[in-house]
Amino acid sequence: MESRKIVRLITSVLISIALWVYVINVVNPSSTTTIRNVPVTLTGMDTLYANNLAIEGSGDYTVDITVRGTRTDLSTLPMDNIVATADVSELTLGQDFITVEVAVPREYTVEDIRSRKIQVYVDELETKTVPVEVVYTGSSKNGYEATVLSVYPEYIEVYGAKKLVAGVGGFVVTVDASNLEYEKVSELSLTGQVRDSAGNDFSGKVRVDDPVILVAATNYSTKSVVLNTGYYGQPWAGASVNKITTPSTITVKGPMSILAEVTEVYSEDIDIEGIYGDAEFPIVPILPEGIYLSEKDRDIKLEIDLADTGSVEFFYYPYEIATKDLADNLYASYSLSEEAYITATVTGPIATLRTMSAADVTLSVDGSKFILGNTTVKITASTQISGVNISLSPETVSVYVREK
């Protein structure tokens, strides 16, 4: 009896498996599956750009789709044949929506798209040309330094939504110094990266037609040489220079055969004319052909420590002199024997002098003791601005006094 039960049990299991195989492989019922994060391809971008419009952001959108098909077909659904698109050619400025359409092989049907409508923001199209900057990673052997000989193109054009393009700071390619030859040029093809004004990755937010940059680079020998820095001009208000600081040496690099002949270099002369406070100026060394400045000395500067005080001159004609306490029945006129005008030299803090004008100084004479005829009198200078001293040249003026 027991053996018969076991046989029946085994038979039942085999029949169930056979029925399941039959249903799956013969009847093959319909079913659904959800595919997540299907990328959306934007179409009509050329038309959008032709309308001087662009979508804010990267334009990288995804949707989740539900697809129906037989269980067998769903188990072999080719992902490459699922295409989600959205036409942007009719978008207008401001907030808008794009509608996603999904195409699948004909043995499948799309039952649901989430989200079929995607909110986008459309801005004016803006184009910006930025320089290509090379940055280094890795390290060279002691006594050598990575050197870029050429970059093509030197500038690259980025474009996209006006609001985002305004934030573009540059375009960067990275050169690994440890992979460069020594004293032999390496030709590199590098993919660059858009950066914002703070140096952060800005890729995907604006577009670049071709981000590939051709770079010629090598590792060159380095050497410390004497630097001679020149300057010319005078600070504002005749302020004296307390101290000028410049580096006495710099590091340069280049082929050994040329570098051996270089012992000193000169810089371009720096114009300090009119400065009115402590200042810094970039130093630009004049290098022999084939010699380059070391990266560590790219930001060398001439530093000036300027005195806090100076002097400015204002000029006045005799008729600008005011007469104080002149009798009502008298009239006074002024003239100079040699000079064409009176010079008022005002000395004081630079910050104060920069706020002053000729109108802040008043020239006057005491007319209380004037008598008829010609005489010479002393000129007085005054101002309501504190902390300054005034000297005059000449200090006297000729006066002719008559009755009215």
pLDDT single digits (tens) 174-229: 999 999 999 999 999 999 999 998 999 988 888 898 999 999 999 999 999 999 99
Handedness of CA 72, 75, 80, 85 (dihedral sign): positive
Select 310-403's CATH number: 2.170.120.30, 3.40.50.9100, 2.20.28.10, 3.30.565.10: 2.170.120.30
pLDDT single digits (tens) 249-288: 999 999 999 999 999 999 999 999 999 999 999 999 999 9
157: confidence class by pLDDT, cuts 50, 70, 90: very high
Classified by CATH at the fold level, domain 2-115 comes out as RNA Polymerase Alpha Subunit; Chain A, domain 2 (2.170.120)
| Position with higher pLDDT, 404 vs 174 | 174
CA 372 to the chain's CA centroid: 72
Residues in the chain: 404
**pLDDT, mean of residues 347-363:** 95
pLDDT value at position 32?
87
pLDDT single digits (tens) 83-138: 999 999 999 999 999 999 999 988 888 889 998 999 999 999 999 999 999 999 99
58: confidence class by pLDDT, cuts 50, 70, 90: confident
232: confidence class by pLDDT, cuts 50, 70, 90: very high
Q: Check pLDDT > 90 for residue 3.
A: no
CA distance 263 to 68: 79
User: What pTM does this model have?
Assistant: 0.66
pLDDT value at position 23?
55
Contacts of residue 308, defined as CB under 8 A and 6 or more positions apart, other chains included, come to: 239, 349, 350, 351
Strands lying side by side in the sheet with 279-282:
241-245, 301-306, 279-282
CATH class of the domain whose range is 229-307: mainly beta
CA distance 70 to 108: 8
Of 387, 377, 321, the residue nearest 353 (C-alpha)? 387
CATH class of the domain whose range is 128-218: mainly beta
| Position with higher pLDDT, 345 vs 74 | 345
Domains 2-115 and 229-307 share a fold: yes
76: confidence class by pLDDT, cuts 50, 70, 90: confident
Handedness of CA 69, 70, 72, 73 (dihedral sign): negative
**pLDDT, mean of residues 230-234:** 93
pLDDT single digits (tens) 362-401: 999 999 999 999 999 999 999 999 999 999 999 999 999 9
Q: Check pLDDT > 60 for residue 1.
A: no
Mean pLDDT of the chain: 91
Residue ranges covered by each domain of the chain: 2-115, 128-218, 229-307, 310-403
CA 220 to the chain's CA centroid: 29
